[in-house]
Chains A and B, each alone.
Chain A
Amino acid sequence: MSRLRRAWLVALALLLASCGGGGPWQLKDIKGVVPDLAFNLTDDSGRRVSAADYRGRTVLLFFGYTNCPDVCPTTLVKLAAALKDLGPAAHGAQVLFVTVDPKRDTLEALHRYARAFGSHVTGLRGSAAELRELAKRYRISYSYGTPDASGNYDVTHSSAVFVFDAEGNARLLVMPDSGEKAIAHDLKLLLGARQG
């Protein structure tokens, strides 16, 4: 086999390999499937915010609540670790932690909780109606368990993290089994595309 022919075969194999996954992404590609970023909420410093305030940044949207001791910190720690892997490029990314439990999560509690995971994390809170609207838009669900004698209750909530590009288009979905490396890999591509 000539050297040229072998080079062609290698190139073809590489091309096929890159097509096999349906693009360069390691996370689930949701482009054109999930609506773009839109919301009206209050951030954890008390400021009214909308999607326009985060234009120009890669946004990771996650729904949870501060009385969630296991899976919410686990997810936020994973996202924070992935962002740390990106180094200075992470400044172009923003994690938005929307509470699905606005009754218990005061802005102060939300602020303390969000900041504990790093400066890239901001807590968002809405009225019941604002939250309902957001949940409907992204087809996420949440519900509340029966309060116990002390008034504590569990909250059931969507497990996915939605990733939006700098223009607010929905791009990727971080699932519970998505690894930190896959998240960092895809965010790097998204953030790179923004700069390039």
Chain B
Amino acid sequence: MRGILCAALFAFALPALAGGAAVADAWLRYIPGGTPAAGYFTLSNQSDKSLSLVGAECADFGMVMMHRTLERGGIFTMRPVHEVTVAPGKTFSFAPGGYHLMLMRPKHPLRPGGRLPITLRFADGSSLPVEFVVKSLQAR
């Protein structure tokens, strides 16, 4: 009885989990010092509706933004990204040299091999908690 009550309370307190959204290969590159870190992952949409990622949150960083590195005419530019839409049955990769989560102002030092919970937020108000692995600087 108590278990059921607790489960009911939890279900009430948590925001709706994104249905059909799955994340694989979620990792961060460890950089010493307080410099921003980049987060990478592959998002797949296993539902029959399009899925729009609109942001991410992490309690261990002051701010998380979605960014894209663009290379044009020999120049690198970082552009903020407000929305990434994944069609039904498709996947989308955040990978080095392209789309990435920019995690700014770490609240404590990261440790290679550690894990970091990051919540992805979607346009329909749902969210998905994801565990990111902190990889060494040499990771690619």
Question: A: which residues have CB within 8 A of B?
Answer: 66-71, 73-74, 77-78, 80-81, 109, 112-113, 116-117, 141, 150, 152, 154-160, 176
Number of interface residues of B (CB under 8 A): 30
Selected A-B contacts with CB under 8 Å, 15 pairs: A67-B35, A69-B35, A69-B37, A70-B97, A71-B69, A71-B71, A77-B139, A81-B138, A81-B140, A117-B137, A141-B75, A154-B78, A155-B78, A159-B74, A160-B74
Name the CB-closest residue of A to B37. Answer: A69
Q: Which of B29, B62, B75 contacts A69 (CB 8 A)?
A: B29
B78 to A116, Cβ gap below 8 A? no
A73 to B137, Cβ gap below 8 A? yes
Q: How far is the CB of A150 from chain B (nearest CB, A)?
A: 7
Q: Which of B37, B77, B105, B140 contacts A77 (CB 8 A)?
A: B140
Q: Which residues of B are found within 8 Å of A69, using beta-carbon distances?
A: 29, 31, 35-38, 100, 102-103
Q: How far is the CB of B13 from chain A (nearest CB, A)?
A: 30
A156 to B75, Cβ gap below 8 A? yes
B76 to A116, Cβ gap below 8 A? no
Name the CB-closest residue of A to B139. Answer: A77
Given contacts A70-B67, A70-B97, A77-B140, contact A159 B75 (CB under 8 A): yes
Q: How far is the CB of A85 from chain B (nearest CB, A)?
A: 13
**Highest count of chain A CB atoms <10 Å: which of B75, B76, B139:** B76
Q: Which residues of A are found within 8 Å of B78, using beta-carbon distances?
A: 68, 70-71, 154-156
Given contacts A77-B137, A117-B137, contact A158 B35 (CB under 8 A): no
Name the CB-closest residue of B to A109. Answer: B33
Given contacts A80-B138, A150-B63, contact A71 B75 (CB under 8 A): no
Q: How far is the CB of A112 from chain B (nearest CB, A)?
A: 5
A71 to B97, Cβ gap below 8 A? yes
A156 to B97, Cβ gap below 8 A? no
Q: How far is the CB of A8 from chain B (nearest CB, A)?
A: 43
Q: Which residues of A are found within 8 Å of B31, using beta-carbon distances?
A: 69, 73, 113, 116
Name the CB-closest residue of A to B96. Answer: A74
Instruction: Give 10 closest A-B pairs by Cβ, nearest first.
Output: A69-B38, A69-B36, A74-B96, A70-B38, A159-B76, A154-B78, A112-B33, A156-B77, A71-B69, A70-B100
A158 to B77, Cβ gap below 8 A? no
Name the CB-closest residue of B to A155. Answer: B78
B138 to A66, Cβ gap below 8 A? no
